[in-house]
Amino acid sequence: MADQPRVVSRPDRIFVSVDESSGRSTISFSPTDAGSPFQRDADRDGALAMRDAQAILARYPGATIHGPHFHAAPTGRTRTRRRP
């Protein structure tokens, strides 16, 4: 059970996001005190995160799943500073 998200109280919403550049998925909750965000490596398509979200939904009917939302982490671009 250590590799499953830990939910402390009933979540209203379950958010699933996937960072396409790193292949890491994240599950987070609303309200935030329902549980800490949980990340999985090597989940580029979000299938593992969605499976976990469905398992949480089975325990807490009435919660809604939002996602998976795909995004890419910002690249290592540096900001140029203007001189005054």
Residue 2 scores a pLDDT above 60:
no
Q: Does the bond joining 31 to the residue before it have cis omega, within 30 degrees of 0?
A: yes
Q: pLDDT band at 21, cuts 50/70/90?
A: confident
**Contact predicate 17/68, CB 8 Å:** yes
Q: How far is CA 10 from CA 4, 28, 36, 39, 56, in A?
A: 16, 13, 12, 19, 9
> 38-69: per-residue pLDDT in tens?
999 999 999 999 999 999 999 999 999 998 99
pTM of the model: 0.79
CA dihedral 15, 20, 25, 30 (to 10 degrees): -20
Residue 76 scores a pLDDT above 70:
no
User: Mean pLDDT, to the nearest integer, of 75-84?
Assistant: 69
